[in-house]
Structure 1
Amino acid sequence: MMDKEPEEMQFLGVVGIIKESFKILVRYVRLLSALALVLVLPLSFAVLAHTLVSNPLIHKIKYNESELNAEEQAGSLDTVRIRNELYSEWIKLGAMVVAYVVFVLAFSLLSTAAVVYSVACIYSGKEPTLVKVMSVVPRVWKRLMCTFLWVYLVMISYHAAFVLSAVIIIVVDTKIGIPVLPFLIALVVIFLGVQVYLNVIWHLASVISVLEESYGLKALKKSVNLVKGKKVVACILVFFYMILTAIVSAIFHSQIVKNHHHSKTISRVFYGSILVLALSLVNLWGILVQSVIYFTCKSYHHESIDRIALSELLDAYSGEYVPLKGPIPMETFEV
């Protein structure tokens, strides 16, 4: 069980939430290490290592495209062979991208479901086990998938609006002659700020999709209301998580992907493994933090979760308890 009572968690800030997440990590290190090994580690490996396979293929495609242009200008008959090779390479690249997206999405959803369920068990006073957690994961991934699809739609719309705004600013600059750089800088700053906020909404909605009856668009709307009052704290934590993942990814790209001609295979494997483990720890910690943020926001709004109802909901997920009148929702009440 967590050290903090529900009514005490409303006072947690950035440092408090980080401490609480690390307490959970240390106290349940065996369970969380097993989940990290089974779910988070493959996810982190795929996120970092996919460029090791895709980059050589992309370079080969670029080389063949330049060769094809040269052969066409020279009127060579070898263009058919090169064009066939290009088609084959593009098909391979497309299949690789699809496989990567499906793999990362699947393990991301499964990792979130497993860790959030584990934290909820801890909060409700139940003892989570690896077998129980893994049996629950398939029951909630569809809810998480629905929520993700809505998030994906929102993200696409937001990025399209950003690109359109940048194009408008550049067009206005060419027409009127106003300096475009300050406006573009301001647009990028606003874009990054809103991007962090959208990630907060996404993470909270993921937890809601596992622990409550809401999912999809309904979970996103509930997440927007839930984060009010703790918006700055949540944004700081999510931004910190994004910075950590970016740092690990940048080191991997510069030292392992780009530096492959100047380093030995053994050293690349060693340092690459260290970086994959580091990203796995960051990702595991990130899911723990988003779970603690959820409980903190609930406490802040005086929506203390009834531990009995939560326990029954978790039992229903694992098949240990079946309510007589359908799923038991998590009840909220004013403290």
Structure 2
Amino acid sequence: MDKEQEEMQFIGLFDIIKESYKIIISCRKIFSQITLTLILPLAFIFQAYQEISNYMLEEIDHTDTEKFFEHPGTKRYTNLSNTLSYEWIKFWLFTIAYFTILFILSLLSTAAIVYTIASVYTGRELTFKKVMSIVPKVWLRLMITFTYMLSAFMVYLILYLCVLIISLKVLHGSAFVGFLNVFLVIYVMGFVYMTGIWQLASVVSVLESADGITAMTKSMGLIKGNRWVAISISFVLNMSFVYIQLSFQSLVVEEGLLEAWKRFGFGVLCFLLLLTLFLFGLVIQTILYLVCKSYHHENIDKGDLSNHLESYLRDYEPLIGKEVQLEEYRV
């Protein structure tokens, strides 16, 4: 990495993106191996789910429409009801399998990228085999952090729905529409902020002996002072993901809008963009962690961080109860 830790506190959004690009290019071999092994399947199942689930829902809609025009109690009505139940079960089983695989690949990709950048930062010898060997060892901490963050998102969504239902009963007409627009903006801003905390907490879970609420609390503390940079990064990543997925849905999944070869071309383009976004997103959130550490003058001792990374290759972890950063440096 080109910059020393003391200098990293001064870099902004575009500098973080630039630094991420530099580190990917400088270590393109290891990042290419991680991408092909973990991130490529992750991007593939994202798009495959859209295509397959759309087809399954069309089948369900077709069966439901046929059932609507049949008289209850007839043999065909009963057969269509059984078929519809089977199709719904098949759809939900497929969805559960999709989210399970997505969850596993997301955590593995996060662990691999964060470990790789930390190894580059400390100047450790790095091989793809070594990276893949430590990935399962940070699985538990990342899973705990993910579970807590998912719970926080669920609570946030429930609160949003409760306020929405109450406002629907209290407000009417233009007053409700105005409130809904303002409240939607507030909800999106809160969602983006929480996503930023989640991304940083994932890095904390790998590079420090922390998980769950502890990692979330540390993440919130690190974001202070760089809140707008963190929110901007989270917003750009989320909006890019939404735009790519909507483009894929409208140009590729929905049939009849484009010729087959054009749909295939747009599908490949969206896939490559999604692949790039996942890789850059994981690298960017790790660089942001280093920037936030630098901003708060929390010196990351490269020797202790190196020992912490080395502990993943052993059967013990020497830094339990001790953070990676040891001292504050003075500017």
Is this a same-fold pair by TM over 0.5?
A: yes
Matches within 5 A, 1:1-335: 2-72=1-71, 76-174=74-172, 179-259=175-255, 262-264=258-260, 266-319=261-314, 329-335=323-329
Deviation readout 1:236-284 (Å, 9 max, x if unpaired): 11111112111211111111101357422x5434432232121011110
Q: Deviation at 1:128?
A: 2.0
For residues 44-74 of structure 1, the C-alpha deviation after alignment (integer angstroms, 9 at most, x for no partner) is: 111122121111211111222222232135x
Write the letter of the residue equivalent to 2:117.
Answer: V
The verdict on how the C-alpha distance between 1:327 and 1:35 changes in structure 2, with shifts beyond 3 A counting, is farther
Using the TM superposition, name which of 57-66 and 229-238 deviates more: 57-66
**1:168 to partner: Cα distance:** 1.2
C-alpha deviations, 1:53-110, integer Å up to 9, x for none?
111211111222222232135x533111111111111110011000100011110100
Q: 1:296/1:232 Cα in 2 relative to 1: closer, same or farther (>3 Å)?
A: same
| Corresponding residue pairs, total | 329
Amino acid at match of 1:52: E
Which stretch of structure 1 is more off in the superposition, 116-125 or 322-331?
Answer: 322-331
What amino acid sits opposite 1:229 in the alignment?
G
* SS, match of residue 134 in structure 1: helix
**What's the TM-score, normalizing by structure 1?**
0.93
Q: Residue by residue, what CA displacement relative to the aligned partner does 1:150-171 show, whole Å, maximum 9, x if unpaired?
A: 0110001101111111111111
Give the alignment's Cα RMSD to 1 decimal. 1.9
| CA distances 1:154-191 after superposition (whole Å, capped 9, x unpaired) | 001101111111111111014xx772111111100100
Opposite residue 292 of structure 1, the aligned amino acid is: I
Residue 210 of structure 1 deviates from its aligned partner by 0.5
Same amino acid, percent of matched pairs: 37
Contiguous gaps of at least 5 residues in structure 2? none
Please state whether the residue corresponding to 2:171 is helix, strand or coil: helix
- Using the TM superposition, give the Cα deviation of residue 198 of structure 1 relative to its aligned residue in structure 2, in angstroms: 0.1
Contact 1:54/1:93 (<8 A) preserved: yes
Aligned AA (1:273): V
Q: Contact between 2:301 and 2:325, CA under 8 Å: does it hold in 1?
A: yes
Task: Kindly state the Cα deviation for residue 330 of structure 1 after the two structures are TM-superposed.
Answer: 1.1
Distance 1:296 1:325, change over 3 A: closer
Compare 284-293 and 39-48 and name the one that shifted more.
39-48
2: distance between equivalents of 1:275 and 1:232?
28
Amino acid corresponding to residue 69 of structure 1 in structure 2:
F
1:162/1:289 CA distance change after superposition, 3 Å = same
Q: Tell me, yes or no, if the aligned pair for 2:209 and 2:322 is still in contact at 8 Å.
A: no
Aligned 8 A contact 1:252 1:272 in 2: yes
SS in 2 for 1:31: helix
Flag the 1:325–1:144 CA change in 2: closer, same or farther, 3 A: closer
